[in-house]
Structure 1
Amino acid sequence: MAAKDLAALAALLADETRAAFLLALLDGRAWTAGELARHAGVAASTASEHLGKLVAGGVLAEERQGRHRYVRLADSGIAHLVEDLAARAEPVRRDPPRTLRAASAGRAMARGRTCYDHLAGRLGITITDAMTDRGLLRQDTGFALTDRGLRWFGELGIPLEPAGRRPVARACLDWTERRPHLAGVAGAALCRHALDTGWCVRIGSERAVKVTGTGEEALRDALGIEPERIR
């Protein structure tokens, strides 16, 4: 990458409205321009202008269905970049929540959330640590599933389908815990399984997720995680 290309990418991210869009899109879903405009508190015309720049810059991918225009993060690499930048930028800000609702939402996000297509927050870290302690995941030489870990996914009926050059396991720096959680193909597959089977459910309008009673039992059986650690 040439210096001018890096500068251009940095310039795309160096705007508070565009940053708000990218953080919202970390939930892995496609949003309409109107939804993002309301989320960021800007006019529809302003949102459209910013989205045009992000799509042109390859940061977002655009989909159209009839009259509706949807955008999503271009790929998992962009999601990883945004989450990593958020983790490094967070210590700079010390502004306390201004409302009880904001404080509650912040606690929910810290407890458990999706980071694009994998689990993050205390939930993601707890699962990652449990997998490491049980010899399913190695962190000493970079993130990698062990042979035992590959069998564990198979025993749970969770397929690990290749996705281009995306690694099976990858570390993603958690912006609330300041430690890496599991990403990559394995992280995405585990998150999808947790949501599809009802281990976790989405709550609120943000990326927060909550572990259900079924999920608490499943995680205790599969990884020895006691419920109080993920509540």
Structure 2
Amino acid sequence: MSAQPNISSVAFLIADPARAAMLMTLIDGCALPAGELARAAGVTAQTASAHLAKLLNGGLLSCEQQGRHRYYRLMDGQVAEAIERLAAICSATTVRRRPLNRAAQDLRFARCCYDHLAGQLGVAVTQALQEKKFIAAGMDKQYALSAAGNLWFTAIGVDIAALKPTRHGLARQCLDWTERTHHLAGPLGVQLLSALCAAGWLRRIKSSRAIQVTPKGWAGLKTQLGIDENTLAVETTGT
């Protein structure tokens, strides 16, 4: 009998509501202390420590110590991708939803998905890139970069030549767990988010995965990709 991956042990770790809340809190790639993760999960510090120890032993988290403080983060992008995919499955099976509060609305609109742009804005950007034929959906859940796309990303501030493809390629399709369609991920998606933040188009929100679009960003998105603030707002309200 051939060896099989121990899926059940990983599933057990993610299945606990408190541990799942901690993992979702870390989905943007940040590193947080146990106290903040305890508050996010709604558990005591002692209970949080026990959960974090299990997640560390299970290979889902890594820990970095600075002085007396310990900071926890997801082990790698594969863990983040697995959590996002599970979240997408849960969204598909949800029949009745409570009205989203403001924080949840902000996350749905634009957020970090580990290290790239997600949410309604992330999907809109990806669709615009496809419409302009800068990228095209290809085989194995990847996007192919066109010559015109190479020029556009370079002009935006992405050093294409410096990007190193992963085993999933240079640009991959990531299923957005709130929008139920794909957004751009992979090294190209990571550097696009960094470039848009560096250009002052997007702004990361402290202590949140939410991302804000600046006035300069809305102007740039409309000029470069045809993404209009008012049109996107209407589509957002209607979903």
- Tell me if both proteins adopt one fold, taking TM over 0.5 as the criterion: yes
Question: Which of residues 122, 125, 130 in structure 1 aligns to 2:123?
Answer: 125
1:163–1:12 Cα change, 3 Å:
farther
Give, in angstroms, the shift of residue 217 of structure 1: 1.4
Which residue of structure 1 aligns with residue 28 of structure 2? Answer: 27
Give, in angstroms, the shift of residue 164 of structure 1: 5.2
Task: Kindly report the root-mean-square deviation, in angstroms, between the aligned alpha carbons of the 2 structures.
Answer: 2.0
5 Å matches for 1:113-192? 113-141=111-139, 142-160=142-160, 161-162=163-164, 165=167, 167-192=169-194
Q: Contact 2:138/2:144 (CA < 8 Å) preserved in 1?
A: no
Give, in angstroms, the shift of residue 165 of structure 1: 3.8
Q: Contact 1:216/1:226 (CA < 8 Å) preserved in 2?
A: yes
User: Within 2, Cα distance between the matches of 1:47 and 1:147?
Assistant: 49
Q: For each residue in 1:61-86, what CA deviation from the matched residue of structure 2 results, as whole angstroms up to 9, or x when unmatched?
A: 11110111001111111111111110
- Give the match's secondary structure for 1:27: coil
User: Within 1, Cα distance between the matches of 2:55 and 2:149?
Assistant: 38
The amino acid of 1:131's aligned partner reads L
The amino acid of 1:89's aligned partner reads C
Residue-pair matches, total:
227
Runs (4+) of structure 1 exceeding 4 A deviation are none
Give the structure-2-normalised TM-score: 0.87
Structure 1: state its 5+ residue gaps: none
Which residue of structure 2 aligns with residue 12 of structure 1? Answer: 13
Overall identity of the aligned pairs, in %: 44
The amino acid of 1:116's aligned partner reads Y
1:230–1:200 Cα change, 3 Å:
farther
User: Within 2, Cα distance between the matches of 1:151 and 1:172?
Assistant: 23
Structure 2: state its 5+ residue gaps: 234-239
Q: Contact 1:211/1:230 (CA < 8 Å) preserved in 2?
A: no
User: Within 1, Cα distance between the matches of 2:3 and 2:112?
Assistant: 32
5 Å matches for 1:1-231? 2-3=3-4, 5-93=6-94, 94-97=96-99, 103-141=101-139, 142-160=142-160, 161-162=163-164, 165=167, 167-203=169-205, 205-231=207-233
Give, in angstroms, the shift of residue 144 of structure 1: 2.2
Greater RCO structure (CA 8 Å; 6+ sep) = 1
Q: Contact 2:129/2:225 (CA < 8 Å) preserved in 1?
A: yes
User: Within 2, Cα distance between the matches of 1:144 and 1:226?
Assistant: 25
Give, in angstroms, the shift of residue 148 of structure 1: 2.2
1:163–1:135 Cα change, 3 Å:
closer
1:31–1:230 Cα change, 3 Å:
farther
